Amino acid sequence: MTQSGVREALLRRGLAQPGARWTKLLGGRSNQSWRVDAQEQPIVVKLFAAGSDNPLFPNDPASEVASLRHLEGTHLAPVWLDDFSTEAGYCVVYGHVPGETWQEGAAEIAALLHRVHGLIGPDHLRRVPDGSAELVQQTEAILDQCAPSDAEMLRKLQPARVIAASGRQCLLHGDPVPGNIVGTPGNWWLIDWQCPALGDPCEDIALFLSPAMQLAYRGAPLSVGESQSFLAAYPDGDAIERYHSLAGFYHWRMAAYCLWLDSRGNCSAREGAEAEIAAMTEACP
């Protein structure tokens, strides 16, 4: 039971008609999604994969539902319509966001993320590492799951600074990569809220600026000019100053994540690790 079973569930719940056209959406790396041309407007049906051992990006349908419902009316996230369990897995249904995935115009994404960070999120969301000590702890846990030779190499590159926790509890998207930013210039939305969090806004900033994530979704890291445009446009100067102090740790962590992916057969992940190590070297001269 995959699309056929999900289709039957939508019919029973009155969310689609028998003749509705289903189109498989590409880009999702954890779950299956379809655009369904429903009666009034297109909808998206996301079927969550069972279980996840991802050490950086959890895959939690309950958190996505909580976030979509919490963000109703903000024009930051799709409109939640329904969620339910099927034999194939849990489904979340929301309004389709027209447009394309983001490719250029980093300053607009800085403003978009700042709007998210200005909100109070659902209290039960996960907390992300805050400060250098917690980032080191998380990275070490990822390296424990990597090939021993890779882990040994990367441990030797650990940044040496000590940056205190911020104590901030901002709402975070948790995975603001280009594939999860959809719309048109001047009207961008964030989709795929399956790993939202509370914490330091530097988390989202680092994930968007990550060379590996940009490489994976856009084919190339941000240029120096694009990165500078994003950093200059983000309205919270203190957060940007803090990001600069922690950038080496975020690049180190992402390099570890890429090596974790590589150990699981992702053939392109090592290139991402190399890009993160190069960025870490620049951030920690």
pLDDT tens sequence across 153-178: 999 999 999 999 999 999 999 999 99
Identify the band that residue 59 occupies on the pLDDT scale cut at 50, 70 and 90: very high
Structure tokens at 69: 């419902």
pLDDT of residue 201: 99
Scanning the structure block, which residue is given the tokens 């990569």? 177
Considering the chain, tell me which residue range(s) the CATH 3.30.200.20 domain(s) occupy: 3-95
Rounded distance, CA 56 to CA 60, Å? Answer: 12
Q: Which two tokens stand for residue 222?
A: 């941000």
Cα first-last separation, the chain: 53
For residues 80-88, give the mean pLDDT: 93
Q: CB of 130 within 8 A of CB of 199?
A: yes
Amino acid at 256: A
Could you tell me the strand order of the sheet in which 80-86 lies?
22-24, 32-37, 42-47, 89-95, 80-86
> Which DSSP state fits 13?
T
**Which residue spans of the chain are classified as CATH 3.90.1200.10?**
100-283
Q: Is the dihedral of CA 174, 177, 183, 188 positive or negative?
A: positive
What is residue 39's predicted lDDT score, i.e. its pLDDT? 67
Mean pLDDT of the chain: 95
- Give me the pLDDT at residue 17, please: 85
Q: Looking at residues 2-18, what average pLDDT do you find?
A: 85
Question: In this predicted structure, what is the pLDDT of residue 15?
Answer: 87
Q: How far is CA 124 from the centre of its chain?
A: 18
**Rounded to an integer, what distance in angstroms lies between the CA atom of residue 12 and that of residue 7?**
9
Tokens linked to 199: 């914490």
Where are the strands (E) in 87-128, listed by range?
Answer: 89-95, 100-101, 126-127
Query: Sorting pLDDT into bands at 50, 70 and 90, what band is 18?
Result: confident
Percent of the chain scoring above 70 in pLDDT: 98
**H or E element at residue 36:** strand 32-37
Q: Is 9 exposed, middle or buried (0-12, 13-18, 19+ CB in 10 A)?
A: buried
Query: pLDDT tier at 267 (50, 70, 90 boundaries)?
Result: confident
* Mean of pLDDT values over 139-160: 97
So what's the pLDDT on residue 174? 99
Confidence of residue 1 (pLDDT cuts 50, 70, 90): very low
Going by their DSSP bridges, the two strands 197-199 and 126-127 should be labelled as parallel
User: How far apart are alpha carbons 91 and 33 in whole angstroms?
Assistant: 9
11-25, 60-74, 179-193: the lowest-pLDDT one: 11-25
The correct CATH number of 100-283 out of 3.40.50.300, 3.90.1200.10, 3.20.20.140, 3.30.360.10 is: 3.90.1200.10
Distance CA 17, CA 65 (A): 23
Task: Return the sign of the alpha-carbon dihedral for residues 230, 235, 241, 246.
Answer: negative
Q: Which helix (H) or strand (E) holds 263?
A: helix 237-263
Task: For residue 267, report the phi and psi dihedrals to the nearest 5 degrees.
Answer: -70, -25
Is it the case that residue 253 has pLDDT exceeding 80? yes
* % pLDDT > 90, the chain: 85
The amino acid sitting at 70 is H
pTM of the predicted protein model: 0.96
pLDDT higher at 219 or 15: 219
Answer yes or no: CATH 1.10.490.10 is held by domain 3-95: no
The tokens for 275 are 């890009």
Statement: residue 29 has pLDDT above 80: no
| pLDDT beyond 90 at 277 | yes
